[in-house]
Structure 1
Amino acid sequence: MKKRILVITTTYPRWKNDTDPPFVFELCKRLTDDFEIHVLTPCYPGSVENEVMDGVKVRRFRYFLRKYEKLAGSIGILPTLNNNKLYYFVIPFFLFFSLVSLFKAIRDVKPDLIHAHWTIPLGIFAAFAKTITHVPYVVTAHGADVFGLRGAFWTFMRRYVMRNASAVTAVSNALKDSLKMCHSLSDVKVVPMGVDSSLFASSSRITNQENRSDPTPTHRILYIGRLTEKKGVIYLIRAMRKIVEQKQNITLSIVGSGELENLLRDEVKKLSLSQYVNFCGAVTNHELPSLYAQHEMFVAPSIKAKGGDTEGFGLTLVEANMGGCLVIASQVGGIVDIIENGETGLLVREKDPADIAEKVIYAMDNPDEAKRIASKGQEMAKARFDWFVISQRYASILHDACN
């Protein structure tokens, strides 16, 4: 009989073809061969409370008036709070019903193990539930739960969570180092989230750069992600101003949504970049491979935000690598686990539009070198970050924790 795993997470597809990051779902569905997987996640307007998605049993808990159940989902909890302070009034209800729903799920599912994604708040609830129900748990740190929540209180809570966990995983070495520095943990396993490499066929790439008959082909830059402070998109827009002063045959596609969208649109207008920058909005996850295939470069200008939050890993960089793009990214957080400068991508200083512009222009002027780096990045991503590899590592950790 398969062991039963109860996965608790605040990020999960709300419906089919959602625009929210699907990495927890992608992991869960790949674990169903080894485990009976149940997921507990918050409701969101338009989502159903109980369903089965690719063999994963999903239950969503209510925590407020339905139209205001937007604390989790879309742009994420911390950005939602920063964007609308009124949601702080929702937090007590969210936390209370999260905990109540967890105990109900434990009663109904009778899991052998809980897998809590994010140390705070769900790791805290898993640790508390263990003291009452004796159900062991594994906790995974993703980034904002470590980088974005600092201070003595949060350090104490993370220490409590991790000391009582059967296993602790982090999605990057930067997270592991931060956790070990704060908590002196000797056994934090670095296991990132993955990407399905089969979706990114190298033969599907479409770029005008390959059209040698065009003396001035249009170069295409892509950004995909939430439009939040830590993503640093405003620095990419400012870099575009410097780029077009030298190269006019270039465009930037910004894919995603978030609380800074209006500010970024205003910046584009202020810098007279409307003919070069296109806001595409959020797209469904199954549309992403074709977007990568249509662009030569992917730029991730991430920064360390005011509260300390930064990239825990950077899964879109892996997708871009698998899609054959040349990846240009800031040297912050977990990004350095993916990009080796000059080998699998190009690293830039954070908050430095001039450095971004310099690297983009270098790639435009040296297409053979750019193609070499992109090809090596693609090989690396498929070897290290394919879901088959990643899911096997998680399955091993969960099996050990169950036993």
Structure 2
Amino acid sequence: MRRALPPRRGRRRARGALPGGIGGTPVRPVEPRDQAQGVRIVAVVAPYYPPKVGGVENYAARIARAVADAPGLRPVVITTRLSGRRTSVSVEDGVHIIRLGAWLRLSNTPLSPLWPLQLRYWLRRTGAQVVNAHAPVPGLADLAVAVSGSRPAVLTYHAGSMHKGEPGSGLADRLIDVYERRVLPRVFRRARVLVAVSPVSLAAAHPHAVEITPGVDIERFTPGEPASRRPRTVLYVGRMDRSSAWKGVDALLRAFAELADDVADARLLLVGGGDAVPDHLRLAAELGIADRVEATGELTGEALPDVMRTAAVAVLPSRTEAESFGMVLVEAMACGTPVVGSAVGGIPHVVLDGETGLLVPPGDPGALAAACRKLLAEGELADRLGAAGRRQAERRFAWNGLMERYVDLFRAL
């Protein structure tokens, strides 16, 4: 729970507390008693953090929670605000969260000229001894590594190449190319340890990189009834921004238009937010499937696993290597839901074609429609893939084991 501060005027700050900007709970810096007891402060630095919904956000939050639960370690999270330029500080689920203001946003990337100074200040005042920065968007993570000083920096890189490869993205792709060829290698060299979230992460090829994938809460994402008995719902979960057209939602809509001709009771559920949602609904109307397509917006809490465990098929139709993992596929697999993914980026490392799901060529609506049709028509195949996906989620992607590796890594540093 966030605890709001009273107005700054006339308020005395507790000795040793830090200013909280526009509100929040002051962050307690490292104290001599902590040092005597061997308490180590880990600063988790990520451009986004809950309540914003997404894979990077969830991954960073899991690390912070694991550090908070580990004896001798204490986390501090440094992230950005969704709006506004002033810094805010709060305590959420027992973790101190420092949210820096952003002066502008380029695509999905928040930026501020004050961050180098602010990062130095907060790392020093919180007593951070290890920095765990999360990318791929340029900016905050790069600066955190650059200003880490003598603190060992662990950089977790979440993507393959961020080239969009979409019409009209020429300038953006040229800037991304300069960043990935000129800037990113220097950041990689500066980091003490690189963590790649999948074999296609740009960090994976470096000799001092380790692989720690995202995970799933297998006690929260649990199976429902067998897929063959569920309503014929095709599910997409993910962001739907115009700058993330590589997610391929337009291809999914065209595939569903083909599928809808053959499966009269099928419907498509789009879960997530973004400025492209109205565009997708207009395309659905043009394709004549508007009455069978529903956009729910973002779902949190138990609403998300509920839709996953009641869908007949979950689809991730991404088109580029920017999809370095495919977290929503793992969550669907944990729910016993058969999955269809594009054979691109990190998805083939998550989904074994014909064993734990089906893979199709990226950007191919016909192949995507055929795979979904197959799972809706062949109940035994759908049930088999769903059960195998659950076993895979338990064996490879349970959060607890993955986070133990991070805690061990921080202790070693």
> Under TM normalisation by the shorter chain, which class is it?
0.7 to 0.9
- 138, 144, 152: which one aligns with 1:126: 144
- 55, 63, 70: which one aligns with 2:94: 55
Higher helix share: 1
Secondary structure of 2:290 counterpart: coil
* 1:26 Cα deviation after fit: 2.1
Relative distance call for 1:283 and 1:145 in structure 2 (3 A) is: same
Does the alignment pair 1:97 with 2:114?
yes
| Contact 2:160–2:200 (Cα < 8 Å) also in 1 | no
Query: For 1:154 and 1:95, how far apart are their aligned partners in 2?
Result: 20
Q: Which residue identity is paired with 1:36?
A: R
Secondary structure of 1:198 counterpart: coil
* 1:158 Cα deviation after fit: 1.4
* 1:163 Cα deviation after fit: 1.2
Corresponding residue number in structure 2 for 1:112: 129
Aligned residues: 357
Does the alignment pair 1:162 with 2:162?
no
Corresponding residue number in structure 2 for 1:28: 64
| Contact 1:8–1:115 (Cα < 8 Å) also in 2 | yes
* 1:390 Cα deviation after fit: 1.1
| Contact 1:117–1:140 (Cα < 8 Å) also in 2 | yes
Query: For 2:146 and 2:134, how far apart are their aligned partners in 1?
Result: 15
* 1:122 Cα deviation after fit: 3.0
Q: Which residue identity is paired with 2:366?
A: A
Relative distance call for 1:110 and 1:146 in structure 2 (3 A) is: farther
Secondary structure of 1:390 counterpart: helix
Q: Which residue identity is paired with 1:52?
A: V
Taking only the aligned residue pairs, the percentage that are identical comes to: 25
Secondary structure of 1:13 counterpart: coil
- 33, 38, 41: which one aligns with 2:79: 41
Q: Which residue identity is paired with 1:199?
A: R
Query: For 2:315 and 2:80, how far apart are their aligned partners in 1?
Result: 32
| Contact 2:251–2:364 (Cα < 8 Å) also in 1 | yes
Corresponding residue number in structure 2 for 1:270: 286
| Contact 1:310–1:332 (Cα < 8 Å) also in 2 | no
Relative distance call for 1:386 and 1:299 in structure 2 (3 A) is: same
Q: Which residue identity is paired with 1:169?
A: V
Corresponding residue number in structure 2 for 1:332: 344
Corresponding residue number in structure 2 for 1:223: 236
Deviation readout 1:137-188 (Å, 9 max, x if unpaired): 0001011775566424432221111112110011110115x752xxxx2232
Does the alignment pair 1:342 with 2:354?
yes
Secondary structure of 1:358 counterpart: helix
| Contact 2:360–2:368 (Cα < 8 Å) also in 1 | yes
* 1:367 Cα deviation after fit: 0.5
**Structure showing greater relative contact order (alpha-carbon pairs closer than 8 Å, 6 or more residues apart):** 1
Q: What is the 5 A alignment of 1:172-211?
A: 172-176=198-202, 180=205, 185-202=206-223, 204-205=224-225, 209-210=228-229
Secondary structure of 1:124 counterpart: helix
Does the alignment pair 1:2 with 2:15?
no
| Contact 2:87–2:100 (Cα < 8 Å) also in 1 | no
Relative distance call for 1:56 and 1:147 in structure 2 (3 A) is: farther
Please report the RMSD computed on the Cα atoms of aligned residues, expressed in angstroms: 2.3
Corresponding residue number in structure 1 for 2:18: none
| Contact 2:260–2:266 (Cα < 8 Å) also in 1 | yes
Secondary structure of 1:114 counterpart: strand
Identify unmatched segments of 5+ residues in structure 2: 1-37, 165-174
Relative distance call for 1:179 and 1:372 in structure 2 (3 A) is: closer
* 1:206 Cα deviation after fit: 7.8
Tell me the TM-score normalized by structure 2: 0.81
Deviation readout 1:57-93 (Å, 9 max, x if unpaired): 11112244xxxx7x4xxxxx63x47xxxxxxxxx6xx
Relative distance call for 1:384 and 1:152 in structure 2 (3 A) is: same
Relative distance call for 1:170 and 1:163 in structure 2 (3 A) is: same
Q: Which residue identity is paired with 1:157?
A: V
Q: Which residue identity is paired with 2:116?
A: L
Relative distance call for 1:316 and 1:191 in structure 2 (3 A) is: same
Tell me the TM-score normalized by structure 1: 0.83
Query: For 1:117 and 1:153, how far apart are their aligned partners in 2?
Result: 16
Secondary structure of 1:395 counterpart: helix
| Contact 2:45–2:132 (Cα < 8 Å) also in 1 | yes
